[in-house]
Structure 1
Amino acid sequence: MITGAGGGLGRALAAALAPTHTLFLAGRPSQRLDAVAAQYGATTWPIDLADTDGIDAVVEPIVELDVLVHNAGVAYPGRVAESTVDQWRATMSVNLVGAVALTLALLPALRAADGHVVFINSGSGINASPGLASYSASKFALRSFADSLRNDEPGLRVTSVHPGRIATEMQEDLVAYEGRGYDPTRFLSPETVARVTADAIHTPRDGHVHEVILRPR
């Protein structure tokens, strides 16, 4: 299962994993999500991470799950003094609480498969980024949740992926906030991040990749 599969990185993750996995694409219903599903013969799962009350019922039919990739996320560019409580609440709701809720709902299915949970985190989950106050805080918390999950569920593999800036729509918004021109060649491509993530997932069963840190050259 891949969350946020309608976006640039989500689509790249689907492409990287489609040759070896049957894909469940989770997210809010949209034409973009449907297009990715049609391209890779995947099933869509209508999940809104901001509405945790509905998650259990949606994923109840899944009794075994090999891999869960948490890719969905939101970012509201702004320094601390510019941010609002509503932005902090919305960021934590999707980036942290939604990921926790989906993981808990799928825990029995992951246990049944000795599964792998992958969190697409960020460099901001290691070093707070200027102008991304609420986003950085949510990613630090998500890293902590991943560490706790790894400690508490020894039958699972849990990997945090910390890429630097990626050439996506979210990056365009951040660059615009910074008042600079957007040049995608300065950033990691979604395909590169997806390839590295797939490599971690394909690690032989006697290995456990805890953390991946990836930066643009």
Structure 2
Amino acid sequence: MPTHLITGAGSGIGEAVARRLRERGDDLVLLARNAARARELAALHPGARTLVGDLDNPDRLSWAFGQQTMPDRLDSLLHVAGVVELGRIGELTPKAWHFQINANLIAPAELTRLLLPQVRVSQGHVVFVNSGAGLAAHAEWGAYAASKHGLKALADSLRHEEHGSGVRVTTVYPGRTASPMQAKVHQQEGKEYDASRWIDPESVATTIVMALDLPRDAEVTDLTVRPGR
């Protein structure tokens, strides 16, 4: 059975993707920030394995993985987790910048570095769930957009570097998606949150699974998903 390592499987798009893959019988390895979160993910996705590593502290990921049993091969590495903190450039502190760049850019880069050998073994797939902010930045989204623009560059470079090894790389750019993160964004914006206005995480999960299942003669490189209403 295919094996997938997924970040952000506890809610939103990540939860939807993990559930979809588990229901069809694929093997899952779910990244958790700590042991307590690992237990929660195991309960949410019965049968899945967990791996503990904190995306907020990418410098420690190599050490953390060295204390655990790693998968021998991965058919996909799905970078779904992300964080956001809005603020004007003139007011954002270095802490806010580090928080978002560590979790949204440096951690995916380090996870990819550490797990790329297992992906190469299966000529697998690396998927980066980016954001519309990874293509265009707006007021108060500067730090988040910078992290996501960087994530696009990471994916594009990786695609060129790994083409010869048979590894496929896809970036998905969802618009606003109904999720706990979106609720947090609305709170920061001072707006009322209505989940029905935004993309269902299941719809984004459908696009990710489609990219994974595409026959080997083709590759989805970039895919933008926008709200339909």
| Residue number in structure 2 paired with 1:24 | 29
Quote how far apart the aligned CAs of 1:207 are: 1.0
Structure 1 runs, 4 residues or longer, greater than 4 Å off: 30-33
- 2:111 paired residue among 91, 99, 102: 102
Q: What pairs with 1:48-127 in structure 2 (closer than 5 Å)?
A: 48-57=54-63, 58=65, 61-127=70-136
The answer on 1:174 being equivalent to 2:185 is yes
* TM-score normalised according to structure 2 size: 0.89
Quote how far apart the aligned CAs of 1:32 are: 5.7
Q: State whether residues 11 and 36 of structure 1, in contact with CA within 8 Å, keep that contact through their aligned partners in structure 2.
A: no
- 1:194 paired residue among 201, 205, 210: 205
Q: State whether residues 75 and 125 of structure 2, in contact with CA within 8 Å, keep that contact through their aligned partners in structure 1.
A: yes
Of residues 158-167 and 77-86 in structure 1, the stretch that sits farther from structure 2 once superposed is 77-86
Q: Deviations over 1:86-145 (max 9, x none)?
A: 110111111111110000001111111101000000000011133221110000000000
| Residue identity opposite 1:158 in structure 2 | V
| Residue number in structure 2 paired with 1:207 | 218
| Residue identity opposite 1:149 in structure 2 | L
In structure 2, C-alpha distance between the alignment counterparts of 1:12 and 1:30, rounded to whole Å: 22
Q: Secondary structure at the match of 2:86?
A: coil
| Residue number in structure 1 paired with 2:12 | 8
Q: Secondary structure at the match of 2:191?
A: coil
Quote how far apart the aligned CAs of 1:33 are: 4.7
The answer on 1:185 being equivalent to 2:199 is no
| Residue identity opposite 2:10 in structure 1 | G
Q: Secondary structure at the match of 1:82?
A: coil
| Residue identity opposite 1:171 in structure 2 | Q
The answer on 1:136 being equivalent to 2:142 is no
Q: State whether residues 5 and 33 of structure 1, in contact with CA within 8 Å, keep that contact through their aligned partners in structure 2.
A: no
| Residue number in structure 1 paired with 2:49 | 43
Q: State whether residues 32 and 41 of structure 2, in contact with CA within 8 Å, keep that contact through their aligned partners in structure 1.
A: no
- 1:34 paired residue among 35, 39, 43: 39
Q: State whether residues 74 and 95 of structure 1, in contact with CA within 8 Å, keep that contact through their aligned partners in structure 2.
A: yes
Q: State whether residues 15 and 40 of structure 1, in contact with CA within 8 Å, keep that contact through their aligned partners in structure 2.
A: no
Of residues 28-37 and 104-113 in structure 1, the stretch that sits farther from structure 2 once superposed is 28-37
Q: Secondary structure at the match of 1:127?
A: coil
| Residue number in structure 2 paired with 1:216 | 227
| Residue identity opposite 2:62 in structure 1 | D
Q: Deviations over 1:12-56 (max 9, x none)?
A: 111121115200000213656534433341001001122234323
Q: Deviations over 1:158-213 (max 9, x none)?
A: 00000000111111121122222111111111111111111111111111100110
**CA 1:92–1:11 in structure 2 vs 1: closer, same or farther (change >3 Å)?**
same
| Residue number in structure 2 paired with 1:162 | 173
| Residue identity opposite 2:175 in structure 1 | G
* TM-score normalised according to structure 1 size: 0.94
Q: State whether residues 65 and 112 of structure 1, in contact with CA within 8 Å, keep that contact through their aligned partners in structure 2.
A: yes
In structure 2, C-alpha distance between the alignment counterparts of 1:194 and 1:33, rounded to whole Å: 22
Number of residue pairs the alignment of both structures matches: 217
